[in-house]
Amino acid sequence: MLRTSLRPALQLTRIYTPQNPLAYSHCLKQNEKAGKISVSLRWVTQATGGTMIFRQLFDRESCTYTYLLADPETKDAVLVDPVIDLAERDAKLISEMGLNLKYVMNTHMHADHITGSGLLKKLVPGCKSLIAKNSGADADIHVEHGETVKFGDQVLEVRSTPGHTNGCVTYVCHGEKFALTGDALLIRGCGRTDFQEGSPDTLYNSVHSQILSLPEDFALYPAHDYKGLTVTSVSEEKQFNPRLTKSKEEFIDLMNNLGLPYPKKIDMSLPANKVCGLYNLPDNLAAKLQD
Ligand SMILES: [Fe+2]
């Protein structure tokens, strides 16, 4: 249905739709042609299946991206891959935006930072922690391949993408045409495979069968970036990923010979993340959990 009032324009500026280059360029062209904001809104809603509140947050120390996703109608929200040092920032933002945080989720059991899940459960009462069953980590909710995570009218499909770790998952939002890939696929790269039961063979299969098999215009958001990039797409990675465009044999050889240093925080992070960030915390962080 076409709308002619200014209301849709206000909604578009208030609610950010995730990167969806095709939908946006289509939308702008149509808007230009018709000179009507209403046509623009129509394209956004019909091409992407709706709108979603989407915030990409960053931790400078570990170069981790945390994603806050929410349903604009119900305000139900999820927070993916929070970092404990920034849990208060995240809780404040959630409060200021008037969101109901349902789940604090992880794409996998991280080795480079302690998850904010445990602390956020304290800071935002009522939210539940969620992680893949195969991760081996404690959480209120364990998910498996093929299950969905729902918040308001928004749905994320859980896809098992092991290889960086056994329990890595990718959360796919078909409605908004994007996926949160964790460390399975990074922008022009991928997560290392030399610890936490990593396997280059498994990772290669996971990325090709579960992520690069998505439609080419799907946006891909990783759990980290070290070069200042924020988002990529299936099409871009199929063309330009220097590792995953190789044959499987070449990829395995490359990954087995990266010669990377032992991760700085792994000895502290893994035991803590096994219990969702509530284990043997550094003193300054543990104090926050006392009250
Ligand atoms: Fe990781």
- Dump pLDDT digits (tens) for 248-281: 999 999 999 998 888 888 888 888 888 877 765 6
Q: Which of 113, 216, 207 is nearest to 169 (CA)?
A: 207
CA distances from 178 to 159, 218, 219 (A): 13, 5, 4
The Å distance, Cα 41 to ligand 1 centre, comes to 37
Distance CA 75, CA 92 (A): 15
The Å distance, Cα 181 to ligand 1 centre, comes to 11
DSSP-based three-state secondary structure for 149? strand
The whole-number average pLDDT for the span 163-172 is 97
Query: How does residue 21 score in pLDDT terms, banded at 50, 70 and 90?
Result: very low
The pLDDT assigned to 291 comes to 54
pTM equals 0.82
Q: Domain map of the chain by residue range?
A: 17-48, 53-284
What token pair was written down for 24? 């946006």
The Å distance, Cα 110 to ligand 1 centre, comes to 5
Q: Of 83-87, 109-113, 242-246, give the lowest mean pLDDT range.
A: 109-113
How many Cβ atoms sit within 10 Å of the Cβ of residue 271? 12
The Å distance, Cα 240 to ligand 1 centre, comes to 22
- By DSSP bridging, strand 100-105 and strand 128-132 are parallel
- Residue 30 φ then ψ, to 5°: -60, -40
The whole-number average pLDDT for the span 194-199 is 88
Q: Of 18-22, 37-41, 109-113, 268-272, give the lowest mean pLDDT range.
A: 37-41
The Å distance, Cα 10 to ligand 1 centre, comes to 39
Residue 154 has pLDDT above 90, yes or no: yes
Q: Where are the alpha helices (DSSP H) in the chain?
A: 7-14, 21-34, 37-48, 87-96, 117-123, 200-206, 234-240, 248-255, 266-274, 283-286
The secondary element (H helix, E strand) that includes residue 172 is: strand 169-173
Do residues 80 and 107 lie in contact, with contact meaning Cβ atoms separated by under 8 Å?
yes
The Å distance, Cα 64 to ligand 1 centre, comes to 10
The pLDDT assigned to 71 comes to 96
Residue 110 has pLDDT above 50, yes or no: yes
The residue written with tokens 């509530």 in the block is 278
If you average pLDDT over every residue of the chain, what do you get? 84
Tens digit of pLDDT for each residue in 219-234?
A: 999 999 999 999 999 9
- Residue 233 φ then ψ, to 5°: -140, 165
The Å distance, Cα 261 to ligand 1 centre, comes to 14
The pLDDT assigned to 279 comes to 60
The Å distance, Cα 107 to ligand 1 centre, comes to 9
Do residues 141 and 129 lie in contact, with contact meaning Cβ atoms separated by under 8 Å?
yes
How many Cβ atoms sit within 10 Å of the Cβ of residue 179? 26
The interaxial angle of helices 21-34 and 37-48, nearest 10 deg, is 150
The whole-number average pLDDT for the span 101-118 is 95
Distance CA 241, CA 124 (A): 38
The pLDDT assigned to 285 comes to 67
The interaxial angle of helices 7-14 and 37-48, nearest 10 deg, is 50
Distance CA 136, CA 142 (A): 10
Residue 19 has pLDDT above 80, yes or no: no
CATH class of segment(s) 53-284: alpha beta
CA distances from 198 to 60, 194, 288 (A): 25, 5, 33
Q: Of 74-78, 158-162, 194-198, 214-218, give the lowest mean pLDDT range.
A: 194-198
DSSP-based three-state secondary structure for 227? coil
Q: What is the DSSP-derived secondary structure letter of residue 210?
A: I
Q: Of 47-61, 106-120, 209-223, give the lowest mean pLDDT range.
A: 47-61
Distance CA 14, CA 8 (A): 10
- Amino acid letter, residue 291: D
Tens digit of pLDDT for each residue in 66-86?
A: 999 999 999 999 999 999 999
The pLDDT assigned to 150 comes to 98
